[in-house]
Amino acid sequence: MIKIKNKAEIENMRRAGVLAAQVLIYIEPFVVAGVSTQYLNDLCAEFTKQHGAISAPLNYHGFPKSICTSINNVVCHGIPSETDILKSGDIVNVDITVILNGYHGDTSRTFMVGDVDEKIKSLVQRTEKALHRGIGAVKPGKYLYEVGRAIEKYVTKFGYSTVKDYGGHGIGKEFHEEPFVLHHYSINNKIRLQAGMIFTIEPMVCIGPNYDVDTSTTDGWTVTTVDGSINAQFEHTILVTATGAEILTQIG
Ligand code: MF3
Ligand code: CO
Ligand code: CO
């Protein structure tokens, strides 16, 4: 069942979305060579708390930290650690989910650390564009699979591919609600978009054609590319409006 949010719920989701966006803006200057992902975790956790919200990842199905930090070949759900030190040339996705007044806001960005290889820089820039292609496909009356189709069409031009095993999701009082949002075309996403639906779009884009991923058997969370290649991701929480989409996790 896909929930249609009412006015009051949408207002709460806007507030949660803005705060999640603020956390990403806040953390950006700290994402530099030499810092640990644990340090980024602690800063984000403190900022979130100071703003009267809760970090949703902490203890979510046993996740041990307050944010996800996914470096290079890590696709998603990277666990912040004192021993993961960022170095020049790395890319790192910082994924923030806050709970404000009972409602979730979920957004992520891939940051570039120091001097990043041109090919990787392009991957990062185009992954952000791909997210916006997906957002551009959101319109009431259209099918959800248009989102995945737009993203796939854009990224495959460059020889990239999107991860198929993870996707975006409905969001509200729950972190993960229906629908499951695919970042490729699939008949499984033949769902009519309606004003008042809220979901995330969060393409994970692989630099090559191989999109296979593995989950760590050691920590049970860290998702990596099977071939060890680089992967980038951007995420926004989106509201379907009468005419298109409103990005809830964007300021201004
Ligand atoms: N924020 C992630 C998402 O975009 C989910 C992280 S789940 C966690 O859906 F448990 F790893 F935090
Ligand atoms: Co999400
Ligand atoms: Co997220």
Q: What pLDDT sits at residue 124?
A: 99
Calculate how far, in angstroms, residue 240's C-alpha sits from the geometric centre of ligand 3. Answer: 18
Domain limits for position 22: 7-247
Ligand 1, atom 8: closest residue by C-alpha: 57
Q: Which CATH number covers residue 29?
A: 3.90.230.10
Distance from C-alpha of 131 to C-alpha of 148, rounded to nearest angstrom = 10
SS3 174: coil
Atom from ligand 1 closest to the CA of residue 57 = 12
* Residue 43, Cβ density class (10 Å: 0-12 exposed, 13-18 middle, ≥19 buried): middle
H/E stretch holding 120: helix 118-136
What DSSP designation does 140 have?
Answer: T
The residues of the chain scoring below 70 in pLDDT are none
In the block, residue with structure tokens 């929930």: 3
Identify the sign of the CA torsion 81, 93, 172, 99: positive
Tell me whether residue 2 is in a domain.
no
Tell me whether residue 222 is in a domain.
yes
Distance from C-alpha of 197 to C-alpha of 32, rounded to nearest angstrom = 37
Question: Domain total for the chain?
Answer: 1
99 and 54 Cβ atoms separated by less than 8 Å: yes
193 and 180 Cβ atoms separated by less than 8 Å: no
Which residues line the pocket of ligand 1, CB cutoff 6 A?
57, 60-61, 63, 68, 77, 95, 97, 106, 169, 200, 202, 235
Atom from ligand 1 closest to the CA of residue 235 = 4
Calculate how far, in angstroms, residue 190's C-alpha sits from the geometric centre of ligand 1. Answer: 24
Calculate how far, in angstroms, residue 117's C-alpha sits from the geometric centre of ligand 2. Answer: 27
Q: What pLDDT sits at residue 33?
A: 98
Ligand 1, atom 2: closest residue by C-alpha: 95
Residues 6+ apart with CB under 8 A from 17: 105, 107, 237, 247, 248, 249, 250
Distance from C-alpha of 61 to C-alpha of 6, rounded to nearest angstrom = 28
Atom from ligand 1 closest to the CA of residue 67 = 12
Q: What pLDDT sits at residue 239?
A: 98
Tell me whether residue 111 is in a domain.
yes
Distance from C-alpha of 167 to C-alpha of 22, rounded to nearest angstrom = 23
The 10s digit of each residue's pLDDT in 118-164 is 999 999 999 999 999 999 999 999 999 999 999 999 999 999 999 99
The two structure tokens encoding residue 40: 């980024």
Tell me whether residue 252 is in a domain.
no
Q: What pLDDT sits at residue 252?
A: 83
Tell me whether residue 134 is in a domain.
yes
DSSP string, 177-220: EEEEE-SS--GGG--B--TT-EEEE--EEESSS---EEE-TTTS
Tell me whether residue 41 is in a domain.
yes
Calculate how far, in angstroms, residue 231's C-alpha sits from the geometric centre of ligand 3. Answer: 15
Assign residue 69 a region: left if phi > 0, alpha if psi is -120 to 50, beta otherwise? beta
Q: What pLDDT sits at residue 142?
A: 98
Cβ count within 10 A of residue 148: 26
Tell me whether residue 15 is in a domain.
yes
Among 59, 63, 95, the mutation site with the greatest number of ligand 1 atoms within 8 A of its Cβ is 95
Tell me whether residue 1 is in a domain.
no
Calculate how far, in angstroms, residue 249's C-alpha sits from the geometric centre of ligand 2. Answer: 11
Q: What pLDDT sits at residue 86?
A: 99
